[in-house]
Amino acid sequence: MMNKVNLIGLSKEELREHLQNLGEPAFRAKQIWQWVYYYGKTDFNEMTNLSIALREKLSGYFELSRPKIIDEQISSDRTHKWLLEFADGERVEMVYIPEEDRGAVCISTQVGCAMGCKFCHTGSQKLTRNLTAGEIVSQFMVARDVYHEWNLKEQARMLSNIVVMGMGEPFCNYDNLLQAIKIISDGEGIALSKRRITVSTSGIIPHIKDFDNECGARLAVSLHASNNELRSEIMPINKKYPFDELLKACRSYQDNHGGYITFEYLMLHNLNDTPAHADELTAVMKKYRINAKFNLIAFNPWPGCGFEASSNNRIHAFSLKLQKAGFAAPIRTARGQDILAACGQLKSKKNTQ
Ligand code: SAH
Ligand code: SF4
């Protein structure tokens, strides 16, 4: 028997081509796209403007698969974490972080991660494989299923944003990431605006250059250090894409894009959180004339990590110093910590350290 084609993850053009092979006219692509991505249907039989014969033909040709929910937990602060499993048995975690009347779904792009950042739980789980575009998109589709958010106006959505900050380095799976964002932001389907999608990278320089032109979603850069040596110590990728080169790439991005650059800065006790580090950070941003916004992230410990979180006093002092130098420096408190759902705590293999 022929393997079925997974419809989720095809671009509109690809869908059109497949339908053409089935002898169907181009406008069918739009109808089917709406059923799948606007109404969230998982069964061709529910696509009532298609003939029964066509529905049968489509069911025999395509699948509309979603990852399976293997486990889920809801934190005392309402943060919701799911363990998802794909067709081949590989797993990722997804998190929904609710706020008052909106919230962000944190999705993954890889099973594991090859960057090996010392402070990151995901980084301690080696890279198994990239996710396909369909697997990236379908994570968000599962969240919509759970929260019954298909066919809703933008203002009514609780799942209002996506942050690509789950497992993996998104720019090491660049093509699939871009295809997924194109599908998610398509106005005839899921219709989540690119302004509501933020991609976080550990600093894969070549793609920072392309991302603005080719994608248009928001960018966040994980900096976490105020100088080259320190960054190499905690983020091995810095040896390949060094601190100063990264900042130069951010500066060109800023020149091209306008506005400011969002940096994530993890607060690690005595390692990168002293007044001297704040001064160093300020100086280097001034040197490269970067309009930086620093999201100061409280470190979320995980079993066996070997790092300590900075005290609240330290974090506030650090923030104040950056603000005095003219930079926005909001403090991001941890969410979902009790269920290991916070930044850098995601890990889908239960049996490894
Ligand atoms: N790989 C990408 C995106 C996923 S990580 C990246 O590194 O940017 C999302 C964010 O969580 C990054 O800023 C990452 O540095 C941060 N993070 C990693 N481990 C963490 C931890 N233990 N506590 C808090 N944040 C962490
Ligand atoms: Fe990978 Fe990001 Fe974790 Fe680093 S912080 S290991 S890049 S997921």
Q: Which of 128, 130, 202 is the best mutation target for the ligand 2 pocket, counting ligand atoms within 8 Å of the beta carbon and taking the most?
A: 202
pLDDT tens digits along 98-125 = 998 999 999 999 999 999 999 998 777 8
Could you tell me the distance, in angstroms and rounded to a whole number, from the CA of residue 264 to the centre of ligand 1? Answer: 8
Instruction: Read off the pLDDT of residues 194-252 as tens digits, 9 standing for 90 and up.
Output: 999 999 999 999 999 899 889 999 999 999 999 999 999 999 999 999 999 999 999 99
Contact 138, 183 (CB under 8 A): no
What number of other Cβ atoms are within 10 A of residue 74's Cβ? 14
What's the full length of the chain, in residues? 353
Which member of 24, 93, 135, 264 is catalytic?
A: 93
Count CB-CB contacts under 10 A for residue 157. 18
Let me know the angle formed at the C-alpha of 31 by 24 and 17, rounded to the nearest 5 degrees: 40
343 an active-site residue? yes
Q: Among positive and negative, which fits the CA dihedral 32, 38, 42, 47?
A: negative
Least confident among 39-48, 102-111, 239-248, 334-343: 334-343
In three-state secondary structure terms, 86 is coil
**pLDDT reading at 83 higher than 60:** yes
Q: Which residue has 């269920």 as its token pair?
A: 339
Residue written as token pair 């998610």: 184
Q: Is pLDDT above 70 for 352? A: no
CA–CA separation, 92 vs 69, rounded Å?
10
The pLDDT confidence band at residue 353, using thresholds 50, 70 and 90, is: very low
Residue with token string 């940096």? 263
Nearest CA to ligand 1 atom 20: 344
Residues 330, 319: Cα–Cα separation, whole Å:
7
Q: What band does 342 get if pLDDT is binned at 50, 70 and 90?
A: low
Tokens coding 113? 């991660």
Pick from 11-20, 134-143, 164-173, 326-335: least confident = 326-335
pLDDT at 335: 72
Instruction: Specify the CATH architecture of the domain 68-351.
Output: Alpha-Beta Barrel (3.20)
Q: What is the pLDDT of residue 344?
A: 60
- CA distance linking residue 65 with residue 67, whole number of Å: 7
Whether ligand 1 lies within 6 angstroms of the CB of 204 is answered as: no
pLDDT of residue 341: 62
Q: Please count the other Cβ atoms lying within 10 Å of the Cβ belonging to residue 49.
A: 10
Catalytic residue, chosen from 113, 117, 172, 343, is 343
Domain-wise residue ranges, the chain: 5-63, 68-351
Q: Does domain 5-63 have CATH number 1.10.150.530?
A: yes
The pLDDT tens digits for 163-185 are 999 999 999 999 999 999 999 99
The pTM is what? 0.94
- Residue 248: name the closest of 282, 203, 279, 218 by CA: 203
